[in-house]
């Protein structure tokens, strides 16, 4: 690797787009900033990890290899350098205003957007924590939150594994009165609080995990990988309030894994109400009873 005072070191690797999305959900990104871009023509997605400190290249490379091994995919990390000016502008080439659902729009801070009547605009820049609105799992969760808010916003929403805070922020902007979130990564909590402030909403975020039940909440959103959802099905399902209006949104699930996740939550006494497939990812809406 060649570098200079005007360059930024990074670790890069090529992956299939669906694998890149899953990798970003599980990678331990403490100490570096992960980014990705998708070459539509070739179908290849390249991820790049930019260490926060000059000596952080080794840790970024190890984290990439560990996450890939957990997913069962092979990667060949390369260490290179990017000019600081290119790094500063690189995010802006790939993040633009996106209409996610009937009412939810996500925009980066550098792009102006004139909201239409009834729209909820989430301002969010890419950063350390997963969740920018570009990934199919995040989009599906926001679509379900939009639908649920239109039905009844007088409900308590719990965002499990909040990442960047985008789902909790979206829920608050959609009109849900009581919204809370947690993550086991302190960096995610810091970023979520900052993002909430940018969007003018106050949301309690705290460091916590799935080792116990939470809530009970009227709406629980868990955008987490399938193996984790299955392992902690009792704790996730146990955090949902009883009653006909209680809803659980499960996401972060590849379509091939959805059957096993569905079975795990049906085993907890829940029923599938709906599912949404976006690309390779299927998200599900569950309740205590099936609505008539």
| Mean pLDDT confidence for 177-195 | 92
pLDDT reported for residue 69: 86
Q: Which of 65-74, 181-190, 211-220 has the highest mean pLDDT?
A: 211-220
CB 23 within 8 A of CB 68: yes
pLDDT reported for residue 54: 62
Q: How confident is the model at residue 129 (pLDDT cuts 50, 70, 90)?
A: very low
pLDDT reported for residue 31: 67
CB 123 within 8 A of CB 198: yes
What pLDDT digit, counting tens, does each position of 74-118 carry?
889 898 877 666 655 665 666 788 899 999 999 888 888 998 999
pLDDT reported for residue 28: 65
pLDDT reported for residue 234: 97
CB 34 within 8 A of CB 46: no
| Mean pLDDT confidence for 110-136 | 79
- What is the C-alpha separation between 222 and 183, in angstroms, rounded? 11
- Please give the C-alpha separations between residue 92 and each of 86, 105, 121, in angstroms, as whole numbers: 10, 17, 18
CATH numbers and ranges of domains, the chain:
7-93 (3.30.70.1710), 131-287 (3.40.50.150)
More confident residue, 224 or 55: 224
Given a cut of 50, whether residue 128 has pLDDT beyond it is no
Question: What value does the mean pLDDT of the chain take?
Answer: 86
| Mean pLDDT confidence for 36-63 | 76
């Amino acid at each position: 690797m060649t570098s200079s005072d005007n360059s930024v070191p990074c670790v890069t690797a090529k992956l299939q787009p669906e694998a890149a999305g899953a990798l970003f959900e599980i990678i331990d990104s403490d100490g570096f900033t992960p980014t990705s871009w998708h070459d539509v023509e070739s179908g290849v997605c390249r991820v790049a990890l930019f260490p926060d400190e000059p000596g952080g290249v080794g840790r970024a490379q190890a984290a990439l290899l560990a996450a890939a091994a957990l997913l069962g995919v092979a990667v060949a990390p390369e260490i290179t350098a990017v000019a600081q000016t290119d790094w500063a502008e690189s995010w802006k080439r790939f993040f633009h205003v996106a209409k996610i659902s009937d009412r939810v729009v996500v925009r980066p801070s550098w792009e102006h957007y004139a909201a239409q009547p009834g729209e909820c605009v989430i301002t969010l820049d890419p950063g350390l924590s997963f969740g920018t609105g570009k990934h199919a799992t995040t989009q599906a969760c926001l679509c379900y939150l939009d639908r649920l808010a239109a039905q009844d916003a007088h409900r308590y929403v719990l965002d499990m594994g909040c990442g960047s805070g985008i789902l909790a922020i979206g829920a608050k902007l959609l009109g849900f009165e009581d919204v809370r979130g947690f993550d086991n990564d302190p960096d995610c909590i810091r970023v979520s609080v900052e993002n909430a402030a940018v969007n003018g909403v106050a949301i309690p975020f705290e460091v916590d995990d799935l080792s116990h039940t939470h809530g009970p909440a009227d709406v629980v959103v868990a955008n987490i990988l399938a193996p984790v959802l299955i392992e902690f099905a009792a704790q996730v399902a146990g955090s949902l309030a009883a009653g006909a209006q209680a809803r659980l949104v499960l996401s972060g699930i590849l379509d091939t894994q959805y059957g096993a996740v569905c079975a795990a939550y049906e085993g907890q006494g829940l029923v599938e109400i709906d599912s949404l497939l976006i690309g390779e990812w299927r998200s599900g809406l569950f309740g205590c009873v099936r609505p008539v």
